[in-house]
Structure 1
Amino acid sequence: MALREILTVPHPVLKQVSTPVEGVDDDLRALMDDMLETMYAAPGIGLAAVQVGVPKRVIVMDLAREGEDPQPRHYVNPEILWRSEETAPYEEGCLSVPEIYDEVERPARVSLRYLNYQGELVEEEADGLFAVCIQHEMDHLEGVLFIDHLSRLKREQAIKKVRKRAA
Protein backbone atom coordinates (compact mmCIF):
# COMPACT_ATOMS: atom_id res chain seq x y z
CA MET A 1 0.00 0.00 0.00
CA ALA A 2 1.05 3.54 -0.61
CA LEU A 3 -0.03 7.03 0.33
CA ARG A 4 -1.20 9.04 -2.66
CA GLU A 5 -1.38 12.78 -3.08
CA ILE A 6 -4.87 14.21 -2.58
CA LEU A 7 -5.62 16.84 -5.21
CA THR A 8 -7.09 20.12 -3.96
CA VAL A 9 -9.14 22.84 -5.62
CA PRO A 10 -8.78 24.26 -8.18
CA HIS A 11 -6.98 21.23 -9.72
CA PRO A 12 -8.65 20.56 -13.10
CA VAL A 13 -8.76 16.74 -12.65
CA LEU A 14 -11.30 17.25 -9.83
CA LYS A 15 -13.77 18.57 -12.43
CA GLN A 16 -13.46 15.48 -14.67
CA VAL A 17 -16.30 12.99 -14.93
CA SER A 18 -14.97 9.60 -13.84
CA THR A 19 -15.22 6.60 -16.16
CA PRO A 20 -16.81 3.26 -15.25
CA VAL A 21 -14.54 0.38 -14.28
CA GLU A 22 -14.64 -2.85 -16.31
CA GLY A 23 -14.50 -5.07 -13.23
CA VAL A 24 -12.83 -5.59 -9.90
CA ASP A 25 -9.33 -7.09 -10.24
CA ASP A 26 -6.13 -7.07 -8.19
CA ASP A 27 -4.99 -3.73 -9.70
CA LEU A 28 -8.26 -2.08 -8.71
CA ARG A 29 -8.11 -3.62 -5.21
CA ALA A 30 -4.55 -2.21 -4.86
CA LEU A 31 -5.90 1.24 -5.83
CA MET A 32 -8.68 0.92 -3.23
CA ASP A 33 -6.16 -0.19 -0.58
CA ASP A 34 -3.99 2.86 -1.38
CA MET A 35 -7.05 5.10 -1.26
CA LEU A 36 -8.03 3.81 2.19
CA GLU A 37 -4.52 4.28 3.54
CA THR A 38 -4.48 7.83 2.10
CA MET A 39 -7.93 8.60 3.52
CA TYR A 40 -7.03 7.34 7.01
CA ALA A 41 -3.78 9.35 6.99
CA ALA A 42 -5.52 12.58 5.92
CA PRO A 43 -7.72 11.90 8.07
CA GLY A 44 -11.11 11.59 6.37
CA ILE A 45 -14.18 9.37 6.12
CA GLY A 46 -14.54 9.11 2.34
CA LEU A 47 -12.40 9.40 -0.78
CA ALA A 48 -13.13 9.13 -4.49
CA ALA A 49 -10.44 7.88 -6.88
CA VAL A 50 -10.51 11.15 -8.85
CA GLN A 51 -9.29 12.92 -5.69
CA VAL A 52 -6.00 11.00 -6.01
CA GLY A 53 -5.81 11.72 -9.75
CA VAL A 54 -7.49 8.52 -11.01
CA PRO A 55 -10.78 9.47 -12.72
CA LYS A 56 -12.45 6.07 -12.27
CA ARG A 57 -15.82 5.38 -10.62
CA VAL A 58 -14.35 4.12 -7.33
CA ILE A 59 -15.01 5.28 -3.75
CA VAL A 60 -13.74 4.16 -0.35
CA MET A 61 -15.34 5.09 2.95
CA ASP A 62 -15.15 4.34 6.65
CA LEU A 63 -17.79 5.77 8.96
CA ALA A 64 -16.50 4.09 12.15
CA ARG A 65 -16.56 6.43 15.11
CA GLU A 66 -13.47 7.22 17.15
CA GLY A 67 -12.58 4.22 19.31
CA GLU A 68 -14.41 1.74 17.05
CA ASP A 69 -12.61 -0.79 14.87
CA PRO A 70 -12.14 0.37 11.25
CA GLN A 71 -15.06 -0.49 8.95
CA PRO A 72 -13.66 0.08 5.46
CA ARG A 73 -16.17 0.04 2.60
CA HIS A 74 -15.54 -0.06 -1.15
CA TYR A 75 -17.84 1.16 -3.93
CA VAL A 76 -17.08 0.40 -7.57
CA ASN A 77 -19.35 1.90 -10.25
CA PRO A 78 -21.87 3.10 -7.64
CA GLU A 79 -25.23 4.37 -8.83
CA ILE A 80 -28.13 5.89 -6.94
CA LEU A 81 -31.38 4.06 -7.69
CA TRP A 82 -33.70 6.24 -5.59
CA ARG A 83 -33.58 9.47 -3.59
CA SER A 84 -36.04 10.48 -0.88
CA GLU A 85 -38.01 13.68 -1.38
CA GLU A 86 -37.20 14.52 2.22
CA THR A 87 -33.93 16.41 2.51
CA ALA A 88 -31.57 17.04 5.41
CA PRO A 89 -28.85 19.66 5.93
CA TYR A 90 -25.39 18.52 6.97
CA GLU A 91 -22.17 20.43 7.51
CA GLU A 92 -19.76 18.94 5.00
CA GLY A 93 -16.03 19.16 4.52
CA CYS A 94 -13.76 17.62 1.90
CA LEU A 95 -10.16 16.47 1.70
CA SER A 96 -9.91 18.28 -1.67
CA VAL A 97 -11.14 21.52 -0.05
CA PRO A 98 -9.14 21.36 3.21
CA GLU A 99 -10.34 23.17 6.31
CA ILE A 100 -13.51 24.49 4.64
CA TYR A 101 -16.90 23.44 6.01
CA ASP A 102 -20.40 24.48 5.07
CA GLU A 103 -23.95 23.22 5.17
CA VAL A 104 -25.29 21.29 2.16
CA GLU A 105 -28.87 20.08 1.78
CA ARG A 106 -29.19 16.59 0.27
CA PRO A 107 -31.81 13.84 0.10
CA ALA A 108 -32.10 12.28 3.57
CA ARG A 109 -32.17 8.70 2.21
CA VAL A 110 -30.95 7.00 -0.95
CA SER A 111 -30.90 3.53 -2.41
CA LEU A 112 -27.75 2.50 -4.24
CA ARG A 113 -26.16 -0.31 -6.23
CA TYR A 114 -22.42 -0.96 -6.61
CA LEU A 115 -19.74 -3.62 -6.82
CA ASN A 116 -17.88 -4.35 -3.58
CA TYR A 117 -14.19 -5.22 -2.98
CA GLN A 118 -14.80 -8.79 -4.18
CA GLY A 119 -16.66 -7.61 -7.30
CA GLU A 120 -20.06 -8.72 -5.98
CA LEU A 121 -23.15 -6.67 -6.87
CA VAL A 122 -24.68 -5.04 -3.77
CA GLU A 123 -27.89 -3.03 -3.32
CA GLU A 124 -28.58 -1.18 -0.08
CA GLU A 125 -30.27 1.83 1.44
CA ALA A 126 -28.41 4.66 3.13
CA ASP A 127 -29.54 7.31 5.59
CA GLY A 128 -27.91 9.72 8.03
CA LEU A 129 -24.17 10.23 7.67
CA PHE A 130 -23.93 7.26 5.27
CA ALA A 131 -26.41 8.94 2.86
CA VAL A 132 -24.57 12.26 3.10
CA CYS A 133 -21.16 10.72 2.55
CA ILE A 134 -22.09 8.45 -0.38
CA GLN A 135 -23.82 11.34 -2.18
CA HIS A 136 -20.84 13.64 -1.50
CA GLU A 137 -18.38 11.05 -2.86
CA MET A 138 -20.59 10.21 -5.85
CA ASP A 139 -20.67 13.92 -6.71
CA HIS A 140 -16.88 13.66 -7.11
CA LEU A 141 -17.43 11.01 -9.79
CA GLU A 142 -19.38 13.63 -11.76
CA GLY A 143 -16.75 16.35 -11.27
CA VAL A 144 -18.82 18.09 -8.58
CA LEU A 145 -17.39 19.31 -5.26
CA PHE A 146 -19.48 20.09 -2.19
CA ILE A 147 -18.64 23.78 -2.64
CA ASP A 148 -20.44 23.63 -6.01
CA HIS A 149 -23.67 23.35 -3.95
CA LEU A 150 -22.90 26.71 -2.29
CA SER A 151 -23.41 30.24 -3.57
CA ARG A 152 -20.87 31.52 -6.08
CA LEU A 153 -19.46 33.92 -3.48
CA LYS A 154 -18.97 31.19 -0.86
CA ARG A 155 -17.42 28.88 -3.47
CA GLU A 156 -14.96 31.56 -4.65
CA GLN A 157 -14.04 32.41 -1.05
CA ALA A 158 -13.38 28.72 -0.28
CA ILE A 159 -11.11 28.30 -3.30
CA LYS A 160 -9.25 31.51 -2.42
CA LYS A 161 -8.65 30.26 1.16
CA VAL A 162 -7.37 26.88 -0.06
CA ARG A 163 -5.02 28.57 -2.56
CA LYS A 164 -3.74 30.96 0.11
CA ARG A 165 -2.98 28.09 2.53
CA ALA A 166 -1.19 26.12 -0.20
CA ALA A 167 1.01 29.08 -1.17
Structure 2
Amino acid sequence: MIYPIVVYGDPVLKKKAAEIEKGTDLTQLVEDMYETMKGAHGIGLAAPQIGKSIRLFVVDGRPLEDEETNDFVKVFVNPEIVEEFGEEWAFEEGCLSIPNIREDVERPESLKIKYYDEKWEYHEEEFDGMKARIIQHEYDHIEGILFTDYLTPLKKRMLKGKLTNITKGKMKVEYRVAIPVKK
Protein backbone atom coordinates (compact mmCIF):
# COMPACT_ATOMS: atom_id res chain seq x y z
CA MET A 1 0.00 0.00 0.00
CA ILE A 2 1.34 3.41 -0.92
CA TYR A 3 0.71 6.04 1.73
CA PRO A 4 0.38 9.74 0.97
CA ILE A 5 3.41 11.73 2.17
CA VAL A 6 2.64 14.15 5.01
CA VAL A 7 3.93 17.60 4.07
CA TYR A 8 5.37 20.60 5.87
CA GLY A 9 2.97 22.20 8.33
CA ASP A 10 1.53 18.97 9.72
CA PRO A 11 2.17 18.75 13.50
CA VAL A 12 3.21 15.06 13.26
CA LEU A 13 6.44 16.21 11.58
CA LYS A 14 7.41 18.37 14.57
CA LYS A 15 6.61 15.81 17.27
CA LYS A 16 9.11 13.42 18.88
CA ALA A 17 7.97 9.93 17.86
CA ALA A 18 7.07 7.17 20.32
CA GLU A 19 9.03 3.97 20.88
CA ILE A 20 7.60 0.84 19.28
CA GLU A 21 6.79 -2.04 21.61
CA LYS A 22 9.44 -4.73 21.18
CA GLY A 23 8.15 -7.69 19.20
CA THR A 24 5.52 -5.71 17.26
CA ASP A 25 5.02 -7.17 13.78
CA LEU A 26 6.24 -4.48 11.41
CA THR A 27 6.39 -6.61 8.25
CA GLN A 28 3.50 -4.99 6.37
CA LEU A 29 4.28 -1.46 7.51
CA VAL A 30 7.94 -1.77 6.44
CA GLU A 31 6.88 -3.18 3.06
CA ASP A 32 4.41 -0.30 2.63
CA MET A 33 7.03 2.26 3.61
CA TYR A 34 9.49 0.93 1.02
CA GLU A 35 6.75 0.97 -1.63
CA THR A 36 5.77 4.54 -0.66
CA MET A 37 9.40 5.71 -0.69
CA LYS A 38 10.09 4.10 -4.07
CA GLY A 39 6.91 5.59 -5.56
CA ALA A 40 8.06 9.05 -4.46
CA HIS A 41 11.65 8.48 -5.66
CA GLY A 42 13.06 8.84 -2.15
CA ILE A 43 16.13 7.32 -0.50
CA GLY A 44 14.75 7.43 3.03
CA LEU A 45 11.35 7.57 4.70
CA ALA A 46 10.46 7.97 8.36
CA ALA A 47 7.14 6.85 9.83
CA PRO A 48 6.08 10.42 10.74
CA GLN A 49 6.20 11.22 7.01
CA ILE A 50 3.26 8.85 6.53
CA GLY A 51 1.45 10.20 9.59
CA LYS A 52 2.65 7.58 12.09
CA SER A 53 4.46 9.07 15.09
CA ILE A 54 6.60 6.01 15.83
CA ARG A 55 10.38 5.50 15.88
CA LEU A 56 10.85 3.76 12.55
CA PHE A 57 12.56 4.67 9.30
CA VAL A 58 13.70 2.88 6.17
CA VAL A 59 16.56 3.72 3.82
CA ASP A 60 17.53 2.65 0.32
CA GLY A 61 20.60 4.37 -1.10
CA ARG A 62 20.56 2.48 -4.42
CA PRO A 63 18.82 5.27 -6.41
CA LEU A 64 21.90 7.45 -5.79
CA GLU A 65 23.80 5.08 -8.11
CA ASP A 66 26.86 5.54 -5.95
CA GLU A 67 29.28 2.75 -5.07
CA GLU A 68 29.11 3.78 -1.40
CA THR A 69 25.33 3.38 -1.15
CA ASN A 70 24.50 0.68 -3.73
CA ASP A 71 23.91 -1.92 -0.98
CA PHE A 72 22.48 0.46 1.63
CA VAL A 73 18.99 -0.91 2.29
CA LYS A 74 18.05 -1.02 5.98
CA VAL A 75 15.23 -0.72 8.46
CA PHE A 76 15.81 1.18 11.71
CA VAL A 77 13.42 0.46 14.60
CA ASN A 78 13.74 2.42 17.87
CA PRO A 79 17.13 3.78 16.79
CA GLU A 80 19.37 5.83 19.05
CA ILE A 81 22.36 7.77 17.75
CA VAL A 82 25.07 7.06 20.30
CA GLU A 83 27.63 9.47 18.89
CA GLU A 84 28.27 11.74 15.92
CA PHE A 85 31.87 12.56 15.05
CA GLY A 86 34.23 13.78 12.36
CA GLU A 87 34.31 16.95 10.30
CA GLU A 88 31.03 18.65 9.51
CA TRP A 89 30.34 18.80 5.78
CA ALA A 90 27.68 20.56 3.78
CA PHE A 91 25.47 18.78 1.30
CA GLU A 92 22.30 19.89 -0.46
CA GLU A 93 19.42 18.00 1.15
CA GLY A 94 15.82 17.68 0.10
CA CYS A 95 12.85 16.00 1.72
CA LEU A 96 9.70 14.30 0.44
CA SER A 97 7.76 16.24 3.11
CA ILE A 98 9.19 19.56 1.90
CA PRO A 99 8.88 19.16 -1.88
CA ASN A 100 10.87 21.24 -4.36
CA ILE A 101 13.12 22.84 -1.74
CA ARG A 102 16.78 21.88 -1.45
CA GLU A 103 19.34 23.54 0.80
CA ASP A 104 22.83 22.87 2.15
CA VAL A 105 22.87 21.29 5.60
CA GLU A 106 26.04 20.71 7.61
CA ARG A 107 26.31 17.39 9.44
CA PRO A 108 29.13 15.41 11.06
CA GLU A 109 30.65 12.90 8.64
CA SER A 110 30.24 9.82 10.86
CA LEU A 111 27.97 8.33 13.48
CA LYS A 112 27.48 5.36 15.74
CA ILE A 113 23.89 4.13 16.07
CA LYS A 114 22.11 1.33 17.89
CA TYR A 115 18.82 0.02 16.57
CA TYR A 116 16.65 -3.01 15.87
CA ASP A 117 15.81 -4.24 12.40
CA GLU A 118 12.32 -5.33 11.34
CA LYS A 119 12.93 -8.81 12.83
CA TRP A 120 13.83 -7.25 16.20
CA GLU A 121 17.50 -8.19 15.88
CA TYR A 122 19.75 -5.72 17.69
CA HIS A 123 22.52 -3.85 15.84
CA GLU A 124 25.17 -1.34 16.83
CA GLU A 125 27.05 0.07 13.84
CA GLU A 126 29.08 2.99 12.57
CA PHE A 127 28.33 4.73 9.28
CA ASP A 128 30.22 7.40 7.33
CA GLY A 129 29.63 9.81 4.49
CA MET A 130 26.38 9.55 2.56
CA LYS A 131 25.10 6.61 4.63
CA ALA A 132 25.56 8.67 7.82
CA ARG A 133 23.84 11.67 6.23
CA ILE A 134 20.79 9.65 5.13
CA ILE A 135 20.50 8.20 8.66
CA GLN A 136 20.90 11.62 10.29
CA HIS A 137 18.19 13.12 8.07
CA GLU A 138 15.71 10.30 8.77
CA TYR A 139 16.62 10.16 12.46
CA ASP A 140 15.81 13.87 12.70
CA HIS A 141 12.29 13.05 11.47
CA ILE A 142 11.61 10.77 14.45
CA GLU A 143 12.95 13.52 16.72
CA GLY A 144 10.55 16.09 15.22
CA ILE A 145 13.32 17.96 13.36
CA LEU A 146 13.22 18.99 9.70
CA PHE A 147 16.22 19.91 7.57
CA THR A 148 14.85 23.47 7.34
CA ASP A 149 15.37 23.77 11.12
CA TYR A 150 19.13 23.91 10.41
CA LEU A 151 18.87 26.90 8.09
CA THR A 152 19.83 30.43 9.04
CA PRO A 153 17.05 32.89 9.92
CA LEU A 154 17.72 34.69 6.61
CA LYS A 155 17.35 31.46 4.57
CA LYS A 156 14.15 30.64 6.45
CA ARG A 157 12.71 34.09 5.67
CA MET A 158 13.65 33.64 2.00
CA LEU A 159 11.80 30.29 1.91
CA LYS A 160 8.75 31.42 3.91
CA GLY A 161 6.51 31.86 0.85
CA LYS A 162 7.41 28.45 -0.60
CA LEU A 163 6.88 26.76 2.79
CA THR A 164 3.50 28.49 3.21
CA ASN A 165 2.47 27.28 -0.24
CA ILE A 166 3.39 23.70 0.73
CA THR A 167 1.12 23.90 3.79
CA LYS A 168 -1.71 24.95 1.44
CA GLY A 169 -1.01 22.21 -1.08
CA LYS A 170 0.22 24.69 -3.69
CA MET A 171 3.09 22.67 -5.12
CA LYS A 172 3.68 20.18 -7.91
CA VAL A 173 4.77 16.66 -6.99
CA GLU A 174 4.52 13.29 -8.70
CA TYR A 175 3.37 11.46 -5.57
CA ARG A 176 0.35 11.59 -3.28
CA VAL A 177 0.57 14.02 -0.40
CA ALA A 178 -1.44 14.70 2.75
CA ILE A 179 -1.99 18.43 3.22
CA PRO A 180 -2.16 19.68 6.84
CA VAL A 181 -5.73 20.12 8.07
CA LYS A 182 -6.50 23.67 9.18
CA LYS A 183 -8.49 23.97 12.41
Equivalent-residue separation in structure 1 for 2:98 and 2:56 (angstroms): 19
Q: How many residue pairs were aligned?
A: 165
Equivalent-residue separation in structure 2 for 1:103 and 1:126 (angstroms): 20
Corresponding residue number in structure 2 for 1:57: 55
The answer for unaligned runs of 5 or more in structure 2 is: 171-183
Cα gap change, 1:147 to 1:66, in 2 (>3 Å): closer
What letter matches 1:7 in structure 2?
V
Structure 1 position 35 matched with structure 2 position 33: yes
TM-score where L is the length of structure 2: 0.83
Aligned with 2:6: secondary structure? coil
Equivalent-residue separation in structure 2 for 1:65 and 1:15 (angstroms): 27
Deviates more, 1:9-18 or 1:146-155: 146-155
Cα deviations by residue, 1:53-103 (Å, 9 ceiling, x for unpaired): 000000000011466987531000111111114211111100000111111
Aligned with 1:108: secondary structure? strand
Equivalent-residue separation in structure 1 for 2:7 and 2:160 (angstroms): 9
Corresponding residue number in structure 1 for 2:174: none
What letter matches 2:5 in structure 1?
I
Cα deviations by residue, 1:16-44 (Å, 9 ceiling, x for unpaired): 11011112432x22111111100000010
Aligned with 1:84: secondary structure? strand
Corresponding residue number in structure 2 for 1:93: 94
TM-score where L is the length of structure 1: 0.90
Cα gap change, 1:109 to 1:3, in 2 (>3 Å): same
Structure 1 position 72 matched with structure 2 position 70: no
Higher relative contact order, chain-length normalized (CA < 8 Å, sep 6+) = 2
Cα deviations by residue, 1:91-131 (Å, 9 ceiling, x for unpaired): 11000001111111111100111001211001111111111
What letter matches 1:9 in structure 2?
Y
Identity %: 41
How do 1:15-34 residues align onto structure 2 when only pairs under 5 Å count?
A: 15-26=14-25, 28-34=26-32
Corresponding residue number in structure 1 for 2:137: 136
Structure 1 position 6 matched with structure 2 position 10: no
Segments of 4+ in structure 1 off by > 2 A? 65-72, 152-160, 162-167
Equivalent-residue separation in structure 1 for 2:129 and 2:146 (angstroms): 19
The answer for unaligned runs of 5 or more in structure 1 is: none
Offset at residue 11 of structure 1 (A):
1.2
Aligned with 1:100: secondary structure? strand
Corresponding residue number in structure 2 for 1:46: 44
Equivalent-residue separation in structure 2 for 1:66 and 1:7 (angstroms): 23
Give the alignment's Cα RMSD to 1 decimal: 1.9
